[in-house]
Amino acid sequence: MSYSIFDFIKLMGSLAFFLFGMKMMSDNLQKLAGEKMRSVLGSMTKNRFFGIITGLFITTIIQSSSATTVMVVSFVNAALLNLTQAFSVIMGANIGTTVTAWIISLLGFKVNIAVIAIPLIGIVFPLLFFKKVQYHYLAEMLIGFSLLFMGLEYLKESVPDLRSNPEMFEFLQNFSGMGYGSFFIFIGVGTLLTIVLQSSSATMALTLVMCNNGWISFADGAAMVLGENIGTTITANLAALMGNTNAKRAALSHTIFNLIGVIWMAFFFNKFLFLIDKSLTAMGVNSPFTDAHSIPYALSIFHTSFNVTNTLLLVWFAKAIVKVPCMLIKESKKEKESKQTEYIGVGFMQVPELSLFQAKNLTVKYADIVRRMFGFVKELLNEEKEQERDKILERIVKYEEIIDKIEQEITEYLINVSNKEVGAQAKERIRRMRIMSIEIEKIGDTCHKMGILIRNAEKDKIKLSQTQRDKIEVMFNMVEEAFDIMFDNINNEKKENIEKAFDVENRINKYRDSIRDALYEEMEHDNTHFKSGFFANKICTSCEKIGDNIFNINEDMLGVNVE
């Protein structure tokens, strides 16, 4: 055999070249479309059809169904998506990944993109020196596009020439023409290659090149495509090993979905290929059974039609399918008890630009916990039964521990994301989210101190007058109003809303000053209320601190600075 180890290494290098170009193109497409993708992600929670469109859109942009699926698993792990919603996005990702085959089939084999790749790099390279960062992303995306097709060209040249290696042809012939035996063997080959390469797109490129060169037949290539659909689910299952039960269920649902598709396709495989053959010959294209150069088109049609058909068939059974992993993977007692402290899966996200969507939602969840904690403080202040007071204080202490844990995890997560290649806008959002996380943690600390202060006051038999209680009640209501505005700003991000935040912050400050003066005056005229007045003043001052933290969060969320 004239195919040497050096030739094999050259083949691996060509594949690496192809993958590097794809990654470079994908990363910069994310940066160009980052904001749009983050807004589209919000639609995935509406219904299963929006989820399918979301999965299709994201996978088309990032050119990796594995990355999309891992992202979805992390969302499920963080309780941002339920299993049915995640399953619909996964179905869309399966369709989106077929775009790669069409790009390669339409451009990689008929149009020699590699010839214009170097001139294209020369044309766009000056854009890297422009000040506007979007030009950098565009240039790097087009350079990645060029490298992708240069890698594909090297890949085609590095595949063994069967005419000079007849023994390799004979080796492959041993696995062809065996009916369903060949079908399952090549499914296994496609699955194994995808697991090893961790990219169904790369395996598809190899499959198309091998078919185009006459290395394997149309039927064998189609079986490999089915194997790639199974192999691409492994990445998410590996990522889910670090996640909670629902993350594992979401990953397994992807595997089940693709396995069901392969099973029903096994019964209609030959008829499916026959229909594709008839469709191509009707359009004037040579039969893929007789002309190897027609196979890339035929495989692209097969890949897309299979995934679209599988989705259209199974979308109606989404709820039933997700019940299977729920039955197979049970939630442990320990996990149920610690569930409330699990909010983020650090290291899951493979799509940096989209990580901000998860970070924002986790920040909202984090802030909501602090708001509930503030509500516990109010309950504690008004509760008269000692046993109930102990329970509320215990809850406040527990929430303080949860808040500290989440703040640490979010900070670590954001640092990991910022260390990846993200756009300038994304870096600024990460910086502001880190500041927000710190401010939210400060609110938790203040609430915890207020809880201890109230409990100590009760031990010292300090009783608030009705006037003092009324004043504190007004202050609590104003802080709750500030929370409402904060959540509105986080969700809608309208800069004009900062005026509402500024207004309530001013009112809190003025009311704190008026309460302080009134309480001091009351203490001067009535010594019996000295301790309670001092205590009430501390409570109101703490509320004012929380108001300051809330306003700082509003500024960071909206990216404005009110002097």
Residues 430 and 360 sit within 8 Å (Cβ to Cβ): no
Task: Please write the tens of the pLDDT for every residue from 437-461.
Answer: 889 899 999 999 999 998 888 888 8
pLDDT > 90 fraction of the chain, expressed in percent and rounded: 5
**Which tops the pLDDT comparison, 351 or 327?**
327
Q: Among 80-84, 288-292, 394-398, which range has the highest average pLDDT?
A: 394-398
How far apart CA 242 and CA 345 sit, in angstroms, is 8
Q: How far is CA 475 from CA 168, 437, 469, in A?
A: 82, 24, 10
Nearest CA to 317 out of 395, 382, 260 is that of 260
Task: Please write the tens of the pLDDT for every residue from 107-164.
Answer: 655 555 556 778 888 888 888 888 777 788 888 878 887 887 677 677 666 755 544 4
Instruction: Report the Cα–Cα distance between both ends of the chain, in Å, rounded.
Output: 77
**Which tops the pLDDT comparison, 234 or 42?**
234
- Work out the pLDDT band at 349, boundaries 50, 70, 90: very low
What crossing angle do the helices spanning 352-382 and 530-558 adopt, rounded to 10°? 160
pLDDT for the residue numbered 192: 83
- Work out the pLDDT band at 77, boundaries 50, 70, 90: low
How far apart CA 493 and CA 560 sit, in angstroms, is 11
**Which tops the pLDDT comparison, 20 or 33?**
20
Helix H or strand E encompassing 272: helix 245-282
- Asked whether the predicted pLDDT for residue 391 surpasses 70, the reply is yes
How far apart CA 235 and CA 219 sit, in angstroms, is 26
pLDDT for the residue numbered 529: 63
- Amino acid found at 227: G
Helix H or strand E encompassing 396: helix 386-418
Q: Distance of alpha carbon 236 from its chain centroid, rounded?
A: 12
Q: How far is CA 363 from CA 66, 175, 330, 412, 438, in A?
A: 26, 54, 29, 13, 11
Task: Return the number of other C-beta atoms located less than 10 Å from residue 418's C-beta.
Answer: 17
How far apart CA 269 and CA 419 sit, in angstroms, is 46
Residues 294 and 82 sit within 8 Å (Cβ to Cβ): no
pLDDT for the residue numbered 326: 85
Helix H or strand E encompassing 379: helix 352-382
- Work out the pLDDT band at 245, boundaries 50, 70, 90: confident
Phi, psi of 161 (to 5 degrees): -85, 115
- Asked whether the predicted pLDDT for residue 173 surpasses 60, the reply is no
Domains and CATH numbers, the chain: 7-328 (no CATH), 357-558 (1.20.58.220)
Residue range 193-197: mean pLDDT, rounded: 73
Residue range 7-20: mean pLDDT, rounded: 78
Q: Which two structure tokens, joined as six digits, stand for 23?
A: 């990654």
Residue range 315-342: mean pLDDT, rounded: 71
Residues 367 and 486 sit within 8 Å (Cβ to Cβ): yes
Residue 110: HSE in the Cβ half-sphere, 13 Å Cα cutoff: 10
pLDDT for the residue numbered 338: 47
Residues 92 and 54 sit within 8 Å (Cβ to Cβ): yes
Residues 130 and 102 sit within 8 Å (Cβ to Cβ): no
Residues 65 and 97 sit within 8 Å (Cβ to Cβ): yes
- Amino acid found at 154: Y
Average pLDDT, the chain: 77
Q: Which two structure tokens, joined as six digits, stand for 363?
A: 């920040």
Residues 120 and 112 sit within 8 Å (Cβ to Cβ): no
Helices (H) and strands (E) in the chain, counts: 22, 0
pLDDT for the residue numbered 20: 80
- Name, in order, each residue with C-beta under 8 angstroms of 554's C-beta and a sequence gap of 6 or more: 485, 486, 489, 497, 498, 501
- Asked whether the predicted pLDDT for residue 541 surpasses 60, the reply is yes
- Name, in order, each residue with C-beta under 8 angstroms of 398's C-beta and a sequence gap of 6 or more: none
Place of tokens 């500030």: 482
pLDDT for the residue numbered 341: 40
How far apart CA 341 and CA 31 sit, in angstroms, is 32
